[in-house]
């Protein structure tokens, strides 16, 4: 089980602040997780489409496409940050 957290604009467009998911075993990286989520279609395919500015953090650290994800992780998806 992976805990997904959606923040800021992504929370609004996806219509949820988070969920727990059980992706197939072959989903072992951030890139694979995003690809799996895109197969849901609709807002998921649109918001997470390649080229869209989606940032990812795994267990509160900034992640890259090849960052591993595994059961028990918290994976957050969000737009580029705009604080300060």
Partner 1 sequence: MPVRVQTGDFDVAREIAALRAGDRRVGAVAAFIGLVRDINDAAAVTTLTLEHYPGMTEKALARIVDEAKSRWSVYDALVVHRVGELKPTDQIVLVVVTGAHRGEAFAACEFIMDYLKTRAPFWKKEQTPAGERWVEARTSDDDAAARW
Sole binder of partner 1 in the list 4, 34, 69, 76 (CB under 8 A): 76
Examine residue 51 and tell whether it contacts partner 1 (CB under 8 A). no
Q: How far apart are CA 12 and CA 71, in angstroms?
A: 26
Structure tokens at 62: 């900034």
Examine residue 72 and tell whether it contacts partner 1 (CB under 8 A). no
Examine residue 44 and tell whether it contacts partner 1 (CB under 8 A). no
78 CB burial (10 A radius; 0-12, 13-18, 19+): middle
Sole binder of partner 1 in the list 61, 67, 68, 75 (CB under 8 A): 61
């Amino acid at each position: 089980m992976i805990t997904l957290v959606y923040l800021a604009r992504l929370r609004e467009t996806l219509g949820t602040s988070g969920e727990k998911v059980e992706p197939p075993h072959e989903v072992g990286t951030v890139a694979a997780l995003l690809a799996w989520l895109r197969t849901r279609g609709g807002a998921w395919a649109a918001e997470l489409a390649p080229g869209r500015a989606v940032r990812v953090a795994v267990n509160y650290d900034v992640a890259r496409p090849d960052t591993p994800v595994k059961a028990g992780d918290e994976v957050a998806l969000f737009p580029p940050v705009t604080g300060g």
